Structure 1
Amino acid sequence: MANTKYGDVAGRFRNGVELFAGVPYASPPIGDLRFAAPAPLESWEGVRDTKRFSPASPQLPGEGLTDRFPVIWDEDCLYLNVVTPASDEKKRPVYVWIHGGAYRRGQGGVAWYDGTSFASRGDVVVVTINYRLGAFGFTELGKHFGEKFSSSGLNGFLDQIAALQWVKENIASFGGDPDQVTVGGESAGAFSVANLLASPLAKGLFHRAIAQSGAASHIHEPDAGADIASELLKALGNPTSEEILDLPAIEILEAQEALIEKWGFAARGVQPFYPVWGHEALPEAPIDLINNGSASDIPLLIGTNEDEMSLYGFTDLDERTLFRYVERIVENPKEVIDSYRKRVGDDSGWLACAIGSDWVFRIPAIRLAETREKHDGNTWMYLFSWDSRAFEGRFGSAHSLELPFTFNTLERAGVDIFIGEGELPTHVAEAMHDAWISFIRDGNPSTAVLGEWPTYTTENRAVMEINDLCDLLIDPQSEERSLWDGVR
């Protein structure tokens, strides 16, 4: 049992820790609130049952390894989950996790994000959240429908801030310390972490940050956001501001997916229905706000996986498709490809994967670290390079593969599909997991196993490689990194 400012909640014991699942943190975003900023939660009488996970935000299944199965969803989706060693008065560090999924899929109640090991091994309270996705969370309708819709390009982000506010106000009842909050996320969750670092509305709500495979470069400018909204409205038959509040959610989802398929990825890997800056929560582009010193006092742990783009089939690309991809993003494609050949070899698929992984993930992470250094911000960087044994060796260290390592959930359902057959790499998971615990607890990821892990600077460019044998690298892949100077 725990008490929140809105009422009492009853959780359950599971695997030696306490779980409170499906705890509301804002009013249901339905009816007139469909495209509005999150509204304060109303109190309830008695004890609310919080033993089962809530539905996810509205979403349709995709075609990838991580999103091809339908999930139970509902527009009433603003719930979070708490895993704690005990709902007592002890003040433990808190880890708030924001899931990925390209801002259109995912949920907090996923087995890979089970916080049990953080709680039992690290004495950490873990909070995982749902937030509005896709068109419901990130459609810039303000220019079309006026002030009532002014936050609609960032509502999913405002949901994340509302969840952090709930943590600040209530986590002490769950054995957590509201003054020791680390916010973390992967992919779109990591983009969200960077946005939180930039946002004036998030100041004071967290004290450390972890960004796995994501930085501050994936966001829409206001005009682009308004253009996407125009296309969505056209696909929906140009509804009025009143009519769009009554449209069936499935119609909006289907129009959203059709528009994403039509537009595909823009040059910088940003899909329709990503966040749109221009609201008070993000008055400028996040990287510009961070460049002006926002959150420079917040320690940041950031990194990428060596073969991010293999998740999206890049290792199967032929030579012709490789060249077409690279010429879309740089003016000197042959020079770039030839430079990567020195390390990667002549396999066109692995070349595409290496170049794409740098373009979309590694270089933006480096740019964020460099930007923070201007204001003496402490940033630690990692490179996850453990190779999966699955898919005939063509998966490598793919996007998302690090997740069950950081959460120490290698034995959860579905992980075996990603890592392949053979002995579980438990020692790698424990090394990575313990570094995360150290950072969450003390603001530094150094551990006895990894040794001293220095901050990343332009002078040392120190990167901790996470693999069967972990090692501190100094300016890894430096020639390839230099190719992107002035480009990315």
Structure 2
Amino acid sequence: MNRRQTLAGLSALGVSISTSHAGAAGKRPKVITTLGPVEGQVKSGVSVFLGLRYGQDTGPARFQPPRRPEVWRDVAKADRYGPACPQQSTPDAYGKSEDCLFLNVWTPEAQARVKRPVMIYLHGGAYNNGSGSDPLYDGTNLALRGDVVVVTINHRLNAFGYLYLSRIERLLTGQAWPLRYSGNTGQMDILLALEWIRDNIAAFGGDPANIMLFGQSGGGAKIATLMATPSAAGLFHKAATMSGQQVTASGPGNATLRATAYLAALGLKADADSLAKVQVLPMEALMEALKAPDPVIGSGSMYFGPVVDETHLMRHPFYPDAAPQSLHIPMMIGNTRDETRAFLGGNAANHSLTWDDLPTKLPPQYRVDIDPWLVIDTYRRLYPDMTPSQVFFAATAAGRSWRGAIIEAEERAKAGAPAYVFQTDWQSPKDGGKWGAPHGIEIPLIFRTTHEASSVTTNSAEARQMADLFSDAFVAFARTGSPQTQALPQWVPYRMEKRETMLMDLPPALAPDPRGEERKLFEKVPFIQQGT
């Protein structure tokens, strides 16, 4: 049997075999996956495979679990990102389509002879927007720096991935089929992608036994949810979240209220005829209805996210405790010092507030039910030099974004599986420093894409130093389960006694219970994750 016959036979058995690598001068890297052969490209010495299909077009089976693609024989070109899921607000240079189940791979060498850690990034966008093709997520520099395999994923979002129609269907028909999974199909897409990675990543030079998930904002929340999802067990081995908490998922009652309101925005009723129609309406109509106000929150556009549907997801991710199924998985949990400047700092008025402005400005933004005068008085006592605007940004970050991260860290520590906790303190010099250390600042630091025009970090010398600090820590975590590097002081996991937190700055420092008085202030009241 010659080499070509051998490869063909292995491929027919579903074995992934690499046939060339980036080091072969003048050649495009080719890999035979379990679905068929693919051909990538070489960029800066890295083999890059864009738009690798891991699932069928979801349009013909809208609101239903994803399906594996049919096997192909001809070489599929993997030189262009796939379309993003349809979404309302975020433009995407590569189009929007219900045929959106694609992933991207960056590897130093597409050869199975070396087993590199695999770093899979789940993008943010609050379950509503985004894709794996953002320039900030280009994996080239991270793959080179860390000698790792980097993966980004597209999956279904908003109503396409999280419209919970199961209860309506069951009330009407007495059974929950075929829409019983509709509230979590976006999560199921990610699981299908993880299965593809498990089965194929060795051929790209990755180690299927060393898979790390990392994600920011909504991406971190997706990871937290996967840590409580039974069908995700065994598909990843490490988890790192940045400003992305999912303490609670949506309950089925609230999810049904949203489904009913969403159908109404489409001009449909909660009846059997409407259930049939919503599955075949034009994609554009479903996108337009995403503008409908949220009936649970009472303001803003519709929230969509994972649902405790008792079919796919049986519990909340970090309530009443950290999900036992994932306590053995090493975890990093991070937040930024100035989270809400990313959302509220663009409004010039928020930079010139008065003390009289704060009692009405604060409550809608810190999102917990606590007396605003108590908050103002506490911050003025703790930080007498703070201006009203500085108090506004600090308090909204503490109550709205930081609180969930603290709860997750506490629940891990209580369960005897503490996480490595960090707080990004380094402040961007962009626009005179008005953004501070905002939500999302870690993304270009970890990916080493500070040179991108959209990076809030700028490409200053300090930004590049922070990129070294962050990317090396995340690579170390992917490789060993600990983010410890020589550039960092001894990093001790978070314990309830001292609440150890790494302050990511120049220089970095491990601090016990940073902002402890702020933490105590907001833990006086229950935390309910918005939308759930």
TM-score range, shorter chain: over 0.9
The residue correspondences of 1:217-236 to structure 2 (distance < 5 A) are 217=247, 219-236=249-266
Q: Residue 38 of structure 1: CA displacement?
A: 1.0
**Following TM superposition, by how much is the alpha carbon of 1:393 offset from its aligned partner in structure 2, in angstroms?**
3.0
**Equivalent of 1:407, from 447, 454, 466?**
447
Q: Given the alignment, which residue of 255, 258, 261 partners 2:289?
A: 255
Q: TM-score, normalised by structure 2?
A: 0.85
Structure 1 residue 7: Cα displacement: 0.9
Query: Which of 345, 362, 379 is matched with 1:340 structurally?
Result: 379
1:286/1:47 CA distance change after superposition, 3 Å? same
Aligned to 1:123: 147
Q: Using the alignment, how far apart are the partners of 1:422 and 1:285 within structure 2?
A: 41
Classify 1:271/1:480 alpha carbon distance in 2 versus 1 (closer, same or farther; 3 Å).
Answer: farther
Q: In the aligned structure 2, how far is the partner of 1:409 from the partner of 1:155?
A: 31
Partner of 1:11: 40
Structure 2 residue aligned with 1:84, among 107, 112, 118? 107
Q: Deviations over 1:102-153 (max 9, x none)?
A: 1111110111111122221111111100011111111111112342111111
Deviation string 1:360-397 (CA, Å, 9 cap, x unpaired) is 22121111111112222130011111112223432111
* TM-score, L = length of structure 1: 0.93
Is the Cα contact below 8 Å between 2:161 and 2:186 reproduced in 1?
Answer: yes
The aligned counterpart of 1:44 is 72
Describe the SS at the equivalent of 2:340: helix
Identify the match of residue 298 of structure 1 among 329, 339, 350.
329
Q: Is 1:474–2:508 an aligned residue pair?
A: no
CA 1:271/1:447 → structure 2, altered by over 3 Å: closer, same or farther? farther
Paired letter, 1:247: L
Alignment of 1:139-158 (within 5 A): 139-145=163-169, 146-158=176-188
Aligned-pair distance for 1:70? 7.1
Aligned in 2, Cα 1:484/1:450: closer, same or farther, shift over 3 Å? same
- For 1:393, the equivalent position in structure 2 comes to 433
Q: Which stretches of structure 1, 4 residues or longer, exceed 4 Å deviation after superposition?
A: 67-71, 262-266, 420-424
1:419 to 439, 450, 457: 457
Show structure 2 runs of 5+ residues with no match: 1-29, 170-175, 528-532
- Corresponding letter in the other structure for 2:32: N
1:94 aligns with 2:133: no
Distance in 1 separating the partners of 2:201 and 2:458: 38
Separation in 2, partners of 1:439, 1:75: 34
In 1, Cα distance between equivalents of 2:459 and 2:451: 12
C-alpha separation in 2, matches of 1:347 and 1:91: 52
Partner of 2:172: none
Q: Which residue of 2 aligns with 1:460?
A: 498
* Structure 1 letter corresponding to 2:42: F
1:409 CA displacement: 1.1
User: Which segment drifts farther, 108-117 or 440-449?
Assistant: 108-117
Q: Which is higher, the Rg of structure 1 or of structure 2?
A: 2
Cα deviation, residue 250, structure 1: 1.2
Residue 428 of structure 1, aligned match among 454, 466, 478? 466
Cα gap change, 1:124/1:308 in structure 2, threshold over 3 Å: closer, same or farther? same
What are the within-5 Å matches in structure 2 for residues 7-406 of structure 1?
A: 7-31=36-60, 33-61=61-89, 67=90, 72-89=95-112, 90-145=114-169, 146-217=176-247, 219-238=249-268, 240-260=274-294, 272-288=303-319, 290-313=321-344, 316-317=349-350, 318=353, 319=355, 322-327=358-363, 329-341=368-380, 342-343=382-383, 345-406=385-446
- Whether the 8 Å CA contact 1:83–1:126 is kept in 2: the answer is yes
SS in 2 for 1:472: strand
Query: 2:16 is matched with which residue?
Result: none
- What's the offset of the Cα at 1:185? 0.6
Q: Deviations over 1:30-68 (max 9, x none)?
A: 12x11101112211122111111111111122xxxxx47
Q: Is the 8 A contact 1:293 1:372 kept in 2?
A: no
